[in-house]
Structure 1
Amino acid sequence: MKVPESSKEVHAIVEDLSLRLGTSGDGKTDVANYVEFLHNVRNLKVRGARGYVGTSNVIWNSLPFGLNLCKSITALWISDFDVRMIHDLYSVRKTCRRIVIHYSMKKLSDFLLEPDETLPIENHEKWDSLQEIDFSFNEVEEIDESISLLDLVRKMNLSHNLLTGVGNHLQHLTMLTELNLSHNAIENLDSWYAKLGNVKRLHLAGNKISSLNGLHKLYSLEFLDLTDNNIAEPDDIRTVGVLPCLDHLILRGNPIQQVIEYRIKVLEHFGERATEVKLDSRKPDEREADTISVRLALRKAREEKEEQTRKKAMEIDKKSRSLSGHDTAAPVRSF
């Protein structure tokens, strides 16, 4: 039996079943074989197409179908199709662990929500087993509240979309540790530390980011890819240099690479952890490590001297106020 793969074939099977065709005894045409297949299939790929089906006037991506017979799916791939044409995902919500969707949607809710979009989000059925989603290469403009139905998702790929931010719903995904937002239209990261929960790996390549303000309290972060953005000055790294777990930073393709001693000046912001950090996939060599150590020692000496000068100035000011009587308590009058 040929395994159905195109949206047209899946649609045809569903239509046959809706007409309640019986068994024919012919292994090639017996619908019962397809029913058994759909009940047991674990990996399903649905590929649509543009234009018309053959010489007919039927548009490929206008053929709806349901997946209610798919009781065991753990991985689902959808490509070049309109996800709004797919219905009856009840069983898939229970069993599917990985979903890949390319060139097929403009809104996350078109796929993740049940047909009745008037229901409050808390009344929609959750995706109980889903751990990884790849919704890259679509036209998604925002991460809407439907994403909060993915309680167990650990890896999320939303690269190559039209996103300008992360919204306010990812913070509910406490299991999410890897997020790929590369090649979107993101310019600022304001308050992202409060929106990303426990993310450890963050991919932001190919955006328009010039400042890292907003990541300074993302303490779980271990890996940050900023390839091909607009980071221009070493001081821009100060924000993430304080993150205790960050040990891999990628800045390839940023204006900052044109700065003299770029690597040393960037790694210096990691302080005593500088030798443990990979910059552009490489830890500092011996010369860089020695230079960083000297610069850190000089900075520490300078800061200590500045602190001593500040304290002396405060003491002088306090004595001056005392001599002038400004610190003398007003006498208490008795009646």
Structure 2
Amino acid sequence: MAFHEPDQGNLCVEITSSTTTTSTTFYHVQVTVDACQWLVEHRYSAFADLNSQLVSDKLIPLDLLPGKKIIGNREPAFVDRRRQDLNTYIKRVVALLQLNMPDVLAKFLELETYDIGWMLRRQAFFCFVHEGAYVGGQRQLQMTPMEVQGLTRLVREGRADSFFHESKLSTAPSQVVDVASQTPSLRVAGSWQPLARSNVRPHTYAFSLELFRSLRKLSLHDVPVSSLASLAALRDRLVELSVSGGAVRDVRDVLLCGELHRDAPAADARPLWTCLRHLALRDNHIRSVDETAAALAPQLTSLDVSTNAVEHIGYLAELPALRQLNLSNNCLTDVPDLHTRLGNVARLRLSQNRIGSLAPFARLFSLVQLDLSFNQVQEVEEVGRLRGLPCLEDLSLVGNPVTTAIDYRARALERLGPRAPHVTLDNEQSSQAQLDRVLVMQALRTAREGGPEFLRRGWHGRVVTIV
């Protein structure tokens, strides 16, 4: 972890090489803080601008920077000699200013990108500017795993104040600590890739959320859940939890984060998440949604397990408040006895799976919205299985083979029977002309099937006579 501590002199710089194009030469500055290294590229003009600012602020002598040459400045011998001179220059500047480094030099060395101390100084400025919005929940505090780890380390060691510069807005030295303890909403965003031109790997930083005592909403993005020490302290107050791109393989990995016995049967689990209403586990490696969520977080109203590898849906009927379930972009093919598994779900999203039959949805009587776009439904007759759903208002079959059938829309609506005028099909509300045509088709079907009624009253009081 890069942590520049001026009194220890642990910052080193070295111009290791250069790259010359047809018009420009870039000098490669290797910056090292303890075991962390990164590369910064600058033209001579950037060194000149840095020098001008430092001289203007009376921080360095006037004659440290090597002079500029106009003719022959891209000749290899000259470029190498200038590299050596600039190397001597930047080393002297860092030696002179390391104990009280100005912002202009820190930006030149890109410390704000790679060094935790400077990241936290920048975060302190944002916390001063947006303190009211952070604490009031109008704005979500955003940090990296490195920042969270660094902040926690400083607080534990009692050294937080020494790592925060006073800004032009008179930022309190430990402003970020105060905001962290009060903010109700936090997003921790990491990365599975090394930071550009460095050996800093954000996903390797383990961290704790012990400083965030007021959280109600937590979002972890591209952060391995294994890097998180525990979520136990948040279980009695967190309302919304999102873990995306966290290499999660089982719901237990999240809901039992910090527990020693994660593999205990769901039936033996006790409710731990007493306030949790919204759980999102998008873009992970989950293969099954089992009873764990019901056992550990019985108050859930929405569950999002989209973009995983789900092949099986367990028994979720013990989530009496669950109304929204998102299983889009998974590997579901057959979903038998769905009505016994899902309880009172009102909005069900299953787009981009491999589902071919609508039979499993025929008894989900609480359904208001059903998204089956981009699945494998082949026949228009399948739509008729949904005609008995009394609350259905929104049905999407976009991207299924059935939508290529001749006169698909009218035939699909006709199969919905009395629900046809109340259903938005494929994000399109039906016109009155379409509904009148569907009514005629339904009457014709009744006649063909030998029904007793050849005189049908329309949905809006119109009479349709079949001759």
Q: Indicate conservation of the 8 Å contact 2:271/2:298, yes or no.
A: no
Match of 1:115 among 259, 281, 289: 259
Match of 1:154 among 287, 290, 301: 301
Q: Indicate conservation of the 8 Å contact 1:22/1:31, yes or no.
A: no
1:123 CA drift (Å): 4.4
Match of 2:153 among 15, 27, 32: 15
TM-score normalized by structure 2?
Answer: 0.59
Structure 2: runs of 5+ lacking an equivalent: 1-120, 125-141, 166-171, 453-467
Q: Report the CA distance shift for 1:25/1:226 in structure 2 as closer, same or farther (over 3 A).
A: closer
Higher Rg: 2
Q: Indicate conservation of the 8 Å contact 1:50/1:80, yes or no.
A: yes
With a CA cutoff of 8 Å and minimum separation of 6, indicate the structure with the bigger relative contact order.
1
Q: Indicate conservation of the 8 Å contact 2:392/2:419, yes or no.
A: no
Match of 1:234 in 2: 380
Alignment of 1:144-183 (within 5 A): 144-148=290-294, 149-168=296-315, 170-183=316-329
Match of 2:274 in 1: 128
Q: Report the CA distance shift for 1:57/1:278 in structure 2 as closer, same or farther (over 3 A).
A: closer
- Within 2, Cα distance between the matches of 1:228 and 1:284? 21
1:87 CA drift (Å): 2.4
Size of the aligned set, in residue pairs, is 304
Match of 2:342 among 196, 220, 230: 196
Q: Report the CA distance shift for 1:23/1:208 in structure 2 as closer, same or farther (over 3 A).
A: closer
Cα deviation digits, residues 7-52 of structure 1 (max 9, x gap): 11212233344xx423676471899655533321211111222355
Q: Report the CA distance shift for 1:25/1:297 in structure 2 as closer, same or farther (over 3 A).
A: closer
Q: Report the CA distance shift for 1:56/1:272 in structure 2 as closer, same or farther (over 3 A).
A: closer
1:207 CA drift (Å): 1.0
Q: Report the CA distance shift for 1:24/1:57 in structure 2 as closer, same or farther (over 3 A).
A: closer
- Within 1, Cα distance between the matches of 2:161 and 2:414? 75
- Within 1, Cα distance between the matches of 2:451 and 2:425? 31
- Within 2, Cα distance between the matches of 1:24 and 1:97? 30
Match of 1:265 among 408, 411, 416: 411
Are 2:218 and 1:82 equivalent residues in the alignment?
A: no
- Within 1, Cα distance between the matches of 2:394 and 2:377? 16
- Within 2, Cα distance between the matches of 1:98 and 1:237? 35
Q: Report the CA distance shift for 1:185/1:175 in structure 2 as closer, same or farther (over 3 A).
A: same
Question: Larger % of strand: which?
Answer: 2
Are 2:164 and 1:28 equivalent residues in the alignment?
A: yes
- Within 1, Cα distance between the matches of 2:161 and 2:144? 25
- Within 2, Cα distance between the matches of 1:247 and 1:49? 40
Q: Report the CA distance shift for 1:90/1:57 in structure 2 as closer, same or farther (over 3 A).
A: same
1:67 CA drift (Å): 1.7
- Matched residue type, 2:251: L
Q: Indicate conservation of the 8 Å contact 1:189/1:211, yes or no.
A: no
Moved more, 293-302 or 119-128: 119-128
TM-score normalized by structure 1?
Answer: 0.81
- Matched residue type, 2:147: E
- Within 2, Cα distance between the matches of 1:268 and 1:66? 57
1:86 CA drift (Å): 1.1
